[in-house]
Structure 1
Amino acid sequence: MPYDPDNIFAKMLRGEIPCNKLYEDDDTLVFLDIMPRSDGHTLIITKEQAESLFEASPGGLAKLMAVVQTLAPKIRDAVGADGVLIAQFNGAAAGQTVFHLHVHIIPRKEGEPLRPEGAQRADQTVLAATAEKIRAKLAGD
């Protein structure tokens, strides 16, 4: 299937749809998931027009994963989690719902179950507060 330039993440990259942005560079955009499986559930998207891992350039994929590696422990610490789940899906059969290459960082706390996938939109006030905590951690506070 060819890349759809009107997918929700492409629209975010063009500034047509708002997001709780945590970080951005020349190659990636990082923001909170609006239907988080845990507090601090973050998405890292490539700025390449790649539907999945298989269409990404090796360099673009390396840049994407470098951001994941750098931000994951900071997000974990910002929300007081014990660990993080890193997830990346390729194709509908694998659970991909937005066909633009992205990686999930899902903070995990011991004994706390994950919320069901896509079950409920988070309150915007809660997302904004979580985003502020994470941005402060990323800034070195």
Structure 2
Amino acid sequence: MIDTDCIFCKIIRGDIPCAKIFETPSVLAFLDIAPVRPGHALVIPKAHHPALWDLPDEDGRDLLAALKIVGRAVVQATGAGGCNVVMNNGAPAGQLVAHAHFHVIPRVRDDGLELWPGTPYADPQAMSRLAEAIRSRI
């Protein structure tokens, strides 16, 4: 399925150019046009699915296999010591394009990028209650 208004679907169709780095029949990977660091890549399914949980299992397997290949290549090509693999799901989480996609961001020590701060639960019972609420929905 393709969404005619989706910028990633337009890239997949070839309507918008990209710096393609990897492609299979079901996955496309290309460099981000506004990278956090040089080598920042996007790995996307060719079928339009808004978020991770909308992906059929087969597409998810293909996406993960491509992510491993692309991540390894980005780290090697940039000389990075590692990478962050990030997926934002939903606008409140920072997803700007409603087409499932992973960011592969190469990292080097002391590059100035910060991860989000962790905050312990103030009440251990609150953590237990939330864990139960989540388990009940699985």
Counting aligned pairs with the same residue, the percent is: 39
SS of structure 1 residue aligned to 2:38: coil
- The answer for the alignment partner of 1:35 in structure 2 is 34
Q: Distance in 2 between matches of 1:49 and 1:9?
A: 8
- The answer for the alignment partner of 2:10 in structure 1 is 11
- The answer for the alignment partner of 2:124 in structure 1 is none
User: Any stretches of 5+ residues in structure 1 without a counterpart?
Assistant: 116-141
Q: State the Cα distance separating 1:71 from its structure 2 match.
A: 1.8
> What is the root-mean-square deviation in Å for CA atoms of aligned residues?
1.5
Structure possessing the higher relative contact order (Cα contacts under 8 Å, 6 or more residues apart): 1
CA contact (8 A) 1:44 1:104 kept: yes
- The answer for the alignment partner of 2:63 in structure 1 is 64
CA contact (8 A) 1:84 1:106 kept: yes
Q: Distance in 2 between matches of 1:90 and 1:53?
A: 7
SS of structure 1 residue aligned to 2:92: helix
Q: Distance in 1 between matches of 2:30 and 2:113?
A: 19
Q: TM-score, normalised by structure 1?
A: 0.76
- Within a 5 Å distance, the mapping from 1:1-141 to structure 2 comes to 4-114=3-113
- Greater radius of gyration (CA): 2
User: Any stretches of 5+ residues in structure 2 without a counterpart?
Assistant: 115-138
Q: Deviations over 1:37-57 (max 9, x none)?
A: 011000001011201112110
Amino acid at match of 1:79: T
Amino acid at match of 2:80: A
SS of structure 2 residue aligned to 1:68: helix
Q: State the Cα distance separating 1:4 from its structure 2 match.
A: 4.2
CA contact (8 A) 2:84 2:105 kept: yes
Residues matched between the structures, number:
113
